[in-house]
C-alpha cells in the first residue's frame, strides 16, 4: 500500500515466497514447518522453564514457604512432562532436523510434506491438552506416571496428561517415519550412505528409536487410561496386575527416549566440531555406526531404572552389563570429537563454544550414568539428587547445549542474517557457568542423601541448594540473552551470505535463507562429506561469479 516498503530486492526465498497467516498454517514446506515447530517448542520451553524457576525458588530455603507439598508435586511433574514430551523430544529433530535434512541430502522436501504438517498439528493438539491440564490444576504423579499411584490414588488429571503425551507421541512417530523414508529415497544423485553428513546418520538412528519405541509408550498410556478411567485393570495389584510391568513398558520407551534427545544433539556436535576445526571428523564411519549402535543398545538397558523395584536381581545384572556396553559407542563419539579438534584450526565461535561445553558436560553426565548403572551403588543413589544431576547433565548439558550449538550454527541459514557474535559468546559462557553452578552441587546433595521430589529438606543441605538456585538464575540469563538477540537479528542482523562459517555440506551451497525448493538445480554429489579442499574451490567459484 505504502511506498515505504522497498521493492523486493533479495531473491525469492522460503520466507518471502508467500505471505499471510494462512500461507504459514497450511504450508507444506519443511522449512516453514520447522519454523512453526520452533515457535511452539520455544513456547513450551518457556513454560517448562517457569516451572523450574518455581522449583528453584522453593528450594532456596529448607522450609516449604512458597507452596505446599501438593502444589510442589504438581510443579515438578509439569516441569518434567513439558520439558520431556513437549520440548526435548521434538526440539532438535522437529526443528533443526526438519529444516536441514532435505537440505543436507539435496532434496526438495521431506518425502511426505503433508504428513509433516499433520505432525505439527498433532503436536499442537497434544500440547493443547497439556495446557488444559496445566490450567485446570495439573497432575502430581511425576512425569513417570507410576502405577498404582497414577491409576488409583492420584488426585490430578492423569487421564488428560496421559492423553496429551499419547497424542504427542504420534507426532514424533510421523516425524521419524518421514525422516526414514526421506533418507532412503530422497538423496541427491551421488550421495551414497557413507557420504551423508553425520547429522543425517544421527537423525536416522533417532528416527528408528521413534518408530520402534514410541508406540510402546502409546499403548502403555492407553492401558493406564483404561485402568484409571474405566477400572479395567492391568497394573494395580488390586486388579490382579503387576505394577512392575508398567515400569518395564514405560522405560522400554522412556530410556531410548533419552537417546531421542541426545543423538540429534550429537549429530549437531559432529557438524559443528568439524566445521570450526576445518577438519574432516576423525573416524567418520565410527561416529556414524556409533549412532546406530546407541540406537540399538539403547533399547536393551531400560531395566536399570528398576533396580529398586521388585524386578529380579538376575534381570538387573543383565541390564547392568548392557548399560555399561552402551557407554562404549558414546565414548567413541567423545574421543572422536576430541581427535577431530586435535591439530585442527579451531575457531572459538559461539556454536563451537556450545559444542565444547557439550563435550565436557555430556562426559560428566555419561560417566555418572555408569555410577547409577552399578546395581549396588544405585540402591544408595536411587531417587536422590544425584540422579537429578546426572540426567540434567545429559539432557540440559547435553541435549540443550547441542540444540543451542545447532541454533547458533544454522541460524544464519534459517533467517539469512547473523546474530551479534560477541553477545553469543557471552551467552555460551554464561550458560556453561550457570549450568555447572546449578547442577554440580546436586551431585553432592544426592550423594549426601537428599531425595528428589521433596519441597522441604534438612537445613544442612541449604548451602548446596542456594548455590544451585543461584546458578539457575545465571543459567536462565544464559537462555534469555540468545532469545533476545536471535529475535533482534531477524530484522537487524547483518546479511549472512550462503556460507558464513566456511562449512561443507549441501545446505551451505544454497542461498540463505534457501529458496522454497531448496536448490535451483538438484545438486550432484561427487565427493566425500567434509571435504574442505573441495570447499575452497566452490567458494572461489561463487566469489568469481558473484
Q: Can you tell me which residue has the cell 519443511? A: 30
Piece of 17-25, 216-224, 355-363, 500-508 that binds other proteins (CB under 8 A): 216-224
- Give the C-alpha distances (Å, rounded to integers) separating 273 from 65, 220, 281, 357: 46, 39, 8, 11
Cβ 246 to other proteins shortest distance, Å: 9
Q: Are 281 and 419 in contact (CB under 8 A)?
A: no
Rounded CA separation 511/151 (Å): 53
State which residue, 207 or 436, has the beta carbon closest to other proteins: 207
What is the grid cell recorded at 227?
A: 485402568
Near other proteins by CB under 8 A: residue from 24, 112, 440, 447 = 112
Near other proteins by CB under 8 A: residue from 240, 376, 459, 546 = 240
Interface characters, 194-213, with other proteins (x: CB under 8 A): -----------------xxx
Near other proteins by CB under 8 A: residue from 15, 163, 177, 294 = 177
Rounded CA separation 81/130 (Å): 9
Rounded CA separation 494/485 (Å): 12
Asked if residue 427 binds other proteins (CB under 8 A), the reply is: no
Phi, psi (degrees; rounded to nearest 5) at 450: -75, 120
Q: Which of 403, 381, 258, 251 is nearest to 308 (CA)?
A: 381
Cβ 18 to other proteins shortest distance, Å: 15
Cβ 296 to other proteins shortest distance, Å: 10
Asked if residue 230 binds other proteins (CB under 8 A), the reply is: yes
Piece of 61-69, 74-82, 170-178, 264-272 that binds other proteins (CB under 8 A): 170-178
Q: Can you tell me which residue has the cell 531404572? A: 305
Near other proteins by CB under 8 A: residue from 16, 194, 231, 449 = 231
Asked if residue 292 binds other proteins (CB under 8 A), the reply is: no
Cβ 171 to other proteins shortest distance, Å: 13
Beta strands at 417-418 and 494-495: parallel, antiparallel or unpaired: antiparallel
Asked if residue 93 binds other proteins (CB under 8 A), the reply is: no
Cβ 229 to other proteins shortest distance, Å: 10
Asked if residue 218 binds other proteins (CB under 8 A), the reply is: yes
Rounded CA separation 448/463 (Å): 13
Strand, helix or coil for residue 495: strand
Near other proteins by CB under 8 A: residue from 91, 220, 290, 504 = 220
Rounded CA separation 210/213 (Å): 5
- Give the C-alpha distances (Å, rounded to integers) separating 421 from 455, 502, 530: 40, 16, 24
Near other proteins by CB under 8 A: residue from 64, 80, 113, 283 = 113
Query: Could you say which DSSP state residue 11 is in?
Result: P
Q: Which of 38, 52, 85 is nearest to 476 (CA)?
A: 52
Interface characters, 304-333, with other proteins (x: CB under 8 A): --x---xxxxxx--x---------------
Cβ 543 to other proteins shortest distance, Å: 23
Q: Are 72 and 63 in contact (CB under 8 A)?
A: no
Asked if residue 12 binds other proteins (CB under 8 A), the reply is: no
Cβ 87 to other proteins shortest distance, Å: 23
Asked if residue 358 binds other proteins (CB under 8 A), the reply is: no
Near other proteins by CB under 8 A: residue from 26, 39, 232, 542 = 232
Asked if residue 521 binds other proteins (CB under 8 A), the reply is: yes
Distance of CA 4 to the CA centre of its chain: 41
Near other proteins by CB under 8 A: residue from 185, 347, 380, 421 = 185
Q: Can you tell me which residue has the cell 542461498? A: 511
Asked if residue 118 binds other proteins (CB under 8 A), the reply is: no
Near other proteins by CB under 8 A: residue from 100, 107, 200, 273 = 107
Asked if residue 148 binds other proteins (CB under 8 A), the reply is: no
Asked if residue 508 binds other proteins (CB under 8 A), the reply is: no
Cβ 89 to other proteins shortest distance, Å: 15
* Residue 164 C-beta-side C-alpha neighbours within 13 Å: 23
Task: List 417's β-bridge partners, or say none.
Answer: 495
Cβ 329 to other proteins shortest distance, Å: 18
- Give the C-alpha distances (Å, rounded to integers) separating 340 from 106, 337, 428: 25, 5, 21
Cβ 12 to other proteins shortest distance, Å: 15
Rounded CA separation 95/90 (Å): 7
Asked if residue 515 binds other proteins (CB under 8 A), the reply is: no
Tell me if the bond preceding 513 is cis, omega within 30° of 0.
Answer: yes
Residue ranges of alpha helices (H) inside 143-197 are 158-185
Asked if residue 407 binds other proteins (CB under 8 A), the reply is: no
Asked if residue 18 binds other proteins (CB under 8 A), the reply is: no
Rounded CA separation 336/340 (Å): 6
Crossing angle of helices 243-277 and 350-373, rounded to 10° = 150
Q: Give the binding-site size for other proteins (rule: CB under 8 A).
A: 60
Cβ 88 to other proteins shortest distance, Å: 20
Q: Which residues bind other proteins (CB under 8 A)?
A: 107-113, 115, 173, 177-178, 180-181, 184-186, 189-190, 211-216, 218-220, 222-223, 226, 230-234, 239-242, 244-245, 248-249, 252, 299-300, 303, 306, 310-315, 318, 517, 521-524
Amino acid at each position: 500500500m505504502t511506498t515505504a516498503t522497498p521493492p523486493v530486492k533479495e531473491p525469492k526465498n522460503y520466507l518471502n515466497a508467500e505471505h499471510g497467516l494462512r500461507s504459514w498454517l497450511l504450508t507444506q514446506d519443511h522449512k516453514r514447518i520447522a519454523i512453526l515447530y520452533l515457535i511452539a517448542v520455544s513456547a513450551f520451553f518457556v513454560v517448562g522453564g517457569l516451572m523450574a524457576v518455581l522449583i528453584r525458588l522453593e528450594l532456596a530455603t529448607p522450609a516449604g514457604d512458597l507452596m505446599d507439598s501438593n502444589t510442589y508435586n504438581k510443579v515438578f511433574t509439569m516441569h518434567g512432562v513439558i520439558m520431556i514430551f513437549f520440548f526435548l523430544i521434538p526440539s532438535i529433530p522437529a526443528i533443526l532436523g526438519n529444516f536441514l535434512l532435505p537440505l543436507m541430502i539435496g532434496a526438495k522436501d521431506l518425502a511426505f510434506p503433508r504428513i509433516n504438517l499433520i505432525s505439527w498439528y498433532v503436536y499442537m493438539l497434544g500440547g493443547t491438552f497439556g495446557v488444559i491440564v496445566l490450567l485446570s490444576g495439573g497432575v502430581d504423579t511425576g512425569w513417570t506416571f507410576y502405577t498404582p499411584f497414577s491409576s488409583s490414588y492420584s488426585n490430578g488429571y492423569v487421564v488428560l496428561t496421559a492423553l496429551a503425551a499419547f497424542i504427542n507421541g504420534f507426532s514424533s512417530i510421523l516425524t521419524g517415519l518421514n525422516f526414514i523414508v526421506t533418507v532412503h529415497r530422497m538423496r541427491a544423485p551421488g550421495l551414497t550412505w557413507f557420504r551423508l553428513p553425520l547429522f543425517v546418520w544421527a537423525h536416522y538412528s533417532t528416527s528408528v528409536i521413534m518408530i520402534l519405541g514410541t508406540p510402546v509408550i502409546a499403548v502403555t498410556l492407553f492401558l493406564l487410561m483404561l485402568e484409571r478411567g474405566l477400572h479395567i485393570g492391568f497394573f494395580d495389584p488390586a486388579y490382579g496386575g503387576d505394577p512392575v510391568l508398567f515400569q518395564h513398558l514405560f522405560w522400554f520407551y522412556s530410556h531410548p527416549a533419552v537417546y531421542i534427545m541426545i543423538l540429534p544433539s550429537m549429530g549437531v556436535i559432529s557438524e559443528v566440531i568439524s566445521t570450526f576445526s576445518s577438519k574432516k571428523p576423525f573416524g567418520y564411519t565410527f561416529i556414524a555406526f556409533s549412532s546406530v549402535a546407541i540406537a540399538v543398545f539403547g533399547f536393551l538397558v531400560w531395566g536399570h531404572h528398576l533396580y529398586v523395584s521388585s524386578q529380579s536381581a538376575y534381570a538387573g545384572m543383565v541390564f547392568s552389563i548392557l548399560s555399561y556396553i552402551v557407554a562404549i559407542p558414546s565414548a567413541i563419539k567423545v574421543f572422536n570429537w576430541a581427535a577431530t579438534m586435535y591439530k585442527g584450526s579451531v575457531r572459538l565461535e559461539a556454536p563451537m563454544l556450545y559444542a565444547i561445553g557439550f563435550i565436557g558436560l555430556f562426559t560428566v553426565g555419561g560417566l555418572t550414568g555408569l555410577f547409577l548403572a552399578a546395581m549396588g551403588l544405585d540402591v544408595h543413589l536411587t531417587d536422590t539428587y544425584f540422579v537429578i544431576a546426572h540426567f540434567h547433565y545429559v539432557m540440559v548439558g547435553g541435549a540443550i547445549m547441542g540444540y543451542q550449538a545447532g541454533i547458533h550454527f544454522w541460524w544464519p541459514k534459517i533467517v539469512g542474517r547473523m546474530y551479534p557474535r560477541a553477545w553469543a559468546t557471552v551467552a555460551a559462557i554464561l550458560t556453561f557457568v550457570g549450568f555447572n553452578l546449578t547442577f554440580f552441587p546436586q551431585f553432592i546433595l544426592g550423594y549426601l542423601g537428599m531425595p528428589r521430589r521433596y519441597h522441604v529438606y534438612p537445613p544442612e543441605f541449604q548451602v548446596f541448594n542456594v548455590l544451585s538456585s543461584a546458578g539457575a538464575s545465571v543459567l536462565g540469563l544464559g537462555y534469555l540473552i540468545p532469545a533476545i538477540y536471535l529475535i533482534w537479528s531477524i530484522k537487524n542482523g547483518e546479511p549472512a551470505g550462503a556460507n558464513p562459517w566456511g562449512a561443507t555440506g549441501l545446505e551451505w551451497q544454497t542461498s540463505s535463507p534457501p529458496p522454497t525448493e531448496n536448490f535451483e538445480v538438484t545438486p550432484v554429489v561427487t565427493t566425500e562429506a567434509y571435504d574442505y579442499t573441495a570447499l575452497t574451490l566452490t567458494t572461489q567459484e561463487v566469489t568469481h561469479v558473484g
